[in-house]
Structure 1
Amino acid sequence: MILQETATLPNGVEIPKLALGTWMIEDAEVAEAVKTAIELGYRHIDTAQAYGNERGVGEGIRDSGVPREQIFLQTKLAAEAKDYETAKAAIQGSLDLLGVDYIDLMIIHSPQPWMEFAGEDRFFEGNLAAWKALTEFYEAGKIRAIGVSNFQKEDLDNLIDNAAVAPMINQVLCHVSNTPFELIDYCKSKGMLVEAYSPIGHGQILDNPEIKAMADKYGVTVAQICIRYVLQLDVLALPKTKTPAHMKTNAELDFVISDADMETLKSMEQIKDYGEASMFPVYGGKL
């Protein structure tokens, strides 16, 4: 069962391959979503300071009745925290809001502040300062593993070449029709794991007839094909939903996509329509 499968981070910490993503789930609603996911067998919960729902995520974990040490909790340092003191305060803020003694994995949400995403300034010094703060919490045992998100090769090299601890994971936009193969290979060559956010293409991919035909062939949903695709790339998957039925089917992945069909999915023309989410920088928009 996929919910019981784990990968191993460079420092030996095990991380479940399938997570519940909580982006766009309101703080007042997320506790129930997290609790439901845990009841269904999820043991990896992903949140972020930018989501504004860390408090509710922590509540859901506590109310689940499952021991804290059995839950892998991941959050993200705000993209705007590009100096040491700001980052240090923000990390402690996450611990306080979540109401936990430790965070399993904390990552820098973006190499650039969102308002400057994809700009020329890579904020190398700011990322090193934020990384220093994360490293101190890691060495103090308050965070079990540290990593990054949306980092490109040059951003990763900045930390690898200049910091005492290398990034352990990179969380990136990755789905059928938009898979950063070179970046994934580079991360793996440096010993990092890779996580895929929006593995279902943020919903717009559900209407694609070619993927729908393939899903029908396997007797599964488009969402299930998309999540399975990511996992077969040896990438972790973080599908986001607050719907219990979707949480359940997203984890029903007891099938294998053939090599030929994987090649078809890998070479599929890019689907650029992210619907209402298109305004967000990671999907090519501007806030």
Structure 2
Amino acid sequence: MDLPHLSLHDGTSIPQLGLGTYKVSDQDAQQVVTAALELGYRHIDTAQMYGNEAGVGRALRESGLPREELYVTTKLDNPNHEPSRARRSLEESLTKLGLDRVDLFLIHWPLPSRDDYVAAWRALVSFVEEGLVTSAGVSNFQPDHLDRVVAETGVVPVVNQVEVHPFFTNEAVRAANARHGVVTEAWSPIARGAVSRSEPIVEIADQLRRTPAQVTLRWHLQRGDVIFPKTTRPERMRENAEILDFELTSEQMATLSDLDRGPEGRTGPDPDHFG
């Protein structure tokens, strides 16, 4: 699988398509990730919160793939923002994953009511400096959260992983990311399957002899998002990867973008009020 890569501002690059492991149990993670790696996936997204890093690690170790071919993301869990706890949790993640470094480490949620995400970000920056983490980024950061960590530390995250799909295009966050040179990663890229029930998307899919999920994932690629759709089924993994041999027209792209419902289109929590 010849996956496209996007350049990050720290001189590294990231595969634009990966596998998400949200809600995949640790028991199932090894089998799921093994199937993805056998199909050609090389970017695996997990998190301390998911509780499946050990299963992901078993799959990585037993794959026999060279480390340099793999791109592994994990995320700092919400109770671990305090710098010493962040360090201990990262060390635990590395042990579970069987790695001496992760390619990308993210603050999972800003938790603005606790007002500790700047301290957490400083910790992540130090982990990059120590070589425990290749690249550091954030997740679910709103524009003011992003602006603040940059202003107070002078270090810009390489990515911001946020909810994005046709029903919630999250343009304000994407614009803030672009302003700072931050790559947007889209979680819930097919709106937890809701795109298959959208008549405009289904119509385009029928015209192209593709599935609604493939059309939506292609929309993301052409917008420049990193995507990691979650599935436990190998046939869906294969289908999700078959999006590199067609393009959407500007009119088709606009049709999907015009489905945006603003905050009402969210499938997950509002970061300003979560935690």
What interval of TM-score do these two structures reach, taking the shorter chain for normalisation? over 0.9
Q: RMSD value over aligned CA atoms? A: 2.1
Q: Kindly indicate whether residue 252 of structure 2 is the aligned counterpart of residue 268 of structure 1.
A: no
Q: Deviations over 1:46-71 (max 9, x none)?
A: 00001000001111111112112210
Which of these residues, 228, 233, 240, is aligned with residue 218 of structure 2? 228
Question: What runs of 5+ residues in structure 1 fail to find an aligned partner?
Answer: 113-120
Q: Kindly indicate whether residue 244 of structure 2 is the aligned counterpart of residue 256 of structure 1.
A: no
Q: Deviations over 1:79-106 (max 9, x none)?
A: 2323212212111111111111110000
Query: What is the Cα deviation at residue 205 of structure 1?
Result: 2.4
Query: What is the Cα deviation at residue 273 of structure 1?
Result: 7.6
TM-score (norm 2): 0.93
Residue 213 of structure 1 aligns to a residue whose secondary structure is: helix
CA distance in 2: counterparts of 1:88 and 1:131, whole angstroms: 12
Relative to 1, partners in 2 of residues 1:89 and 1:152: Cα closer, same or farther, differing over 3 Å? same
CA distance in 2: counterparts of 1:191 and 1:28, whole angstroms: 38
Moved more, 179-188 or 217-226: 179-188
Aligned to 2:188: 198
CA distance in 2: counterparts of 1:283 and 1:41, whole angstroms: 33
Q: Kindly indicate whether residue 53 of structure 2 is the aligned counterpart of residue 65 of structure 1.
A: no
Aligned to 2:136: 146
Q: How many residues end up aligned between the 2 structures?
A: 273
8 Å CA contact retained: 2:109, 2:271:
no
CA distance in 1: counterparts of 2:73 and 2:83, whole angstroms: 21
Identity of matched residues, %: 38
Q: Deviations over 1:13-41 (max 9, x none)?
A: 11100010000111011111111111111
8 Å CA contact retained: 2:110, 2:271:
no
Question: What runs of 5+ residues in structure 2 fail to find an aligned partner?
Answer: none
Relative to 1, partners in 2 of residues 1:159 and 1:236: Cα closer, same or farther, differing over 3 Å? same
The letter for the 1-side match of 2:269 is P
Aligned to 1:118: none
Counterparts in 2 of 1:40-119, with a 5 A limit? 40-112=39-111
Query: What is the Cα deviation at residue 284 of structure 1?
Result: 11
CA distance in 2: counterparts of 1:207 and 1:283, whole angstroms: 26
